[in-house]
Amino acid sequence: MTKKIIDHETRTLDGNAAAAEALRQIEPEVFGFYPITPTSYIGEKFSKFVADGDVDTEYVCAESEHAALSICVGAAAAGARAVTATASQGLILMAEVLWNASGTRLPIVLVNGNRALSAPLSIHCGHDDLYAVRDSGWGQLVAKNAQEAYDFLVCSFRIAEAENVRTPLMMAMDCFHTTHTAMKISLEPDDEVQKFVGEIILKNPLLDIENPTAYGNFTKPDFYMEHKRAQLAGLENMRGQAEKVLREFAKKFGRGSGELVEKIGAENPEIAFVAIGSVCATLERAVEKLGNAAVVRPKMFRPFPSDELREKLKTAKKIIVLDRCSPCGAEWAPLGTEIRNLGLDAEIRNGIFGLGSRETHANDFVELAKNFENLPENKPHWINLREEK
């Protein structure tokens, strides 16, 4: 079958379609998939690429997300480049397999649509799913918009597969705010993307029958701890590898930068907002209204870019960290806790916003900044929550 070659073009796509286009260009050997809102469309669109002969990928419809990721684990152990896409309940159903993939050092890439967890059932945005699996040993890239989702996905395989990393990576984008919001996307030429991504470097593939290998082995007390430490080294190396690949991407395609933390606004801000995901676009508008302010956005949640954040936040006098998740019994929510752990001189407050896509506008953040002195110190402030005073 002849493949359609698509040259550089600008198209109006939502995050899901942009992700599917990136995967068409990369053409992984195996795509294990089970549909779930909001990322079903990635599988739908990709299955059309398979049916039309645009890709030679083995597209496997699984019976659950647990199976979908297990298919990827088997494929990656065999030596294939494997990908899956999921969200929310799907991601936490995969939880067991997430740990298997990272511990076995299989560089699988997963596209997640950050969605609030049940119950009560919500199909809208929340970072509960992402935070729930933050300690799974996977890398977590969080895209701001559909273009960045495309760009990150093109970079993901090289970040995960590097010899000193060999660690799976999830590329996350916000449910509906990014997965279903169309924007003008620059698609790079197929051949340029393929050249950029390159071939997978094989490590102990199961299909190398001349050199038999056993995967998923039992480990005794005399080895488990060393394995966990060695695994951490791979995850830590992902920071440097992500910087390297993002920088190379920026140089080649003229978008983004190698920085793991983006800072937009004043250099020495009176107030800095820290957040991940699509809300950062809203925060940029709030920063314009406030004047002496900045948005500081880690592009990765795991491994956490601590040094870069210290550098970008050292001149801020006040900091508001915004979390799209309940603190769930901790004093602060996850991102707030991480920022407080950096040991900065600034006054820091934690805000909870947008659970289940509760609307939050730029003006809400402007008000929040003006009201800084009244925000509680040792517990988060819930933004746009109906409550009795």
Partner 1 sequence: MNAKKSNPNLRVVASTASWQELGISGGVVKSAGNSEKYHTGNWVPRALEFVPENCINCGLCWAVCPDDSILLDEKGNMIGVDLDHCKDCGLCVEICPPNKNPDPAKHALRFRDEEKSDF
Binding site for partner 1 (CB under 8 A): 103-106, 163-164, 166, 203-204, 211-223, 225-227, 229-231, 233-234
User: Considering the complex, what minimum distance in angstroms separates the CB of residue 168 from partner 1?
Assistant: 11
Strand partners, 139: 169
> How many Cβ atoms sit within 10 Å of the Cβ of residue 65?
26
Q: What is the DSSP string of 104-156?
A: TT---EEEEEEBPPSSSP--SB-SHHHHHTTTSS-EEEE-SSHHHHHHHHHHH
Token pair, residue 305, equals: 């870019």
Q: Nearer to partner 1 by C-beta: 220 or 389? A: 220
Q: Nearer to partner 1 by C-beta: 102 or 278? A: 102
What is the rounded distance in angstroms from the CA atom of residue 43 to the CA atom of residue 59? 9
What is the rounded distance in angstroms from the CA atom of residue 159 to the CA atom of residue 241? 6
Q: Dihedral through CA 139, CA 35, CA 41, CA 54, nearest 10? A: 90
Query: HSE-up of 157 (CA within 13 Å, CB side)?
Result: 25
Radius of gyration of the chain (CA): 21
Q: Nearer to partner 1 by C-beta: 106 or 170? A: 106
Q: What is the DSSP string of 235-256?
A: HHHHHHHHHHHHHHHHHHHS-S
User: Considering the complex, what minimum distance in angstroms separates the CB of residue 194 from partner 1?
Assistant: 25
Strand partners, 212: none
Residue 386's contacts (CB-CB under 8 Å, 6 or more residues apart) are: none
Q: Nearer to partner 1 by C-beta: 225 or 385? A: 225
Query: HSE-up of 178 (CA within 13 Å, CB side)?
Result: 33
Q: Nearer to partner 1 by C-beta: 9 or 226? A: 226
Ramachandran angles phi, psi of 247, nearest 5°: -65, -45
User: Considering the complex, what minimum distance in angstroms separates the CB of residue 242 from partner 1?
Assistant: 17
User: Considering the complex, what minimum distance in angstroms separates the CB of residue 344 from partner 1?
Assistant: 32
CB 181 within 8 A of CB 149: no
Q: Nearer to partner 1 by C-beta: 104 or 114? A: 104
What is the rounded distance in angstroms from the CA atom of residue 6 to the CA atom of residue 10? 11
Q: Nearer to partner 1 by C-beta: 20 or 165? A: 165
Q: Nearer to partner 1 by C-beta: 156 or 278? A: 156
**Kind of pairing, strands 293-298 and 183-187?**
unpaired
Q: Nearer to partner 1 by C-beta: 163 or 191? A: 163
Q: Nearer to partner 1 by C-beta: 231 or 315? A: 231
Residue at token pair 């800084």: 372
User: Considering the complex, what minimum distance in angstroms separates the CB of residue 32 from partner 1?
Assistant: 19
What is the rounded distance in angstroms from the CA atom of residue 96 to the CA atom of residue 64? 13
User: Considering the complex, what minimum distance in angstroms separates the CB of residue 245 from partner 1?
Assistant: 18
User: Considering the complex, what minimum distance in angstroms separates the CB of residue 64 from partner 1?
Assistant: 24
User: Considering the complex, what minimum distance in angstroms separates the CB of residue 231 from partner 1?
Assistant: 7
User: Considering the complex, what minimum distance in angstroms separates the CB of residue 366 from partner 1?
Assistant: 48
Residue at token pair 């009244």: 374
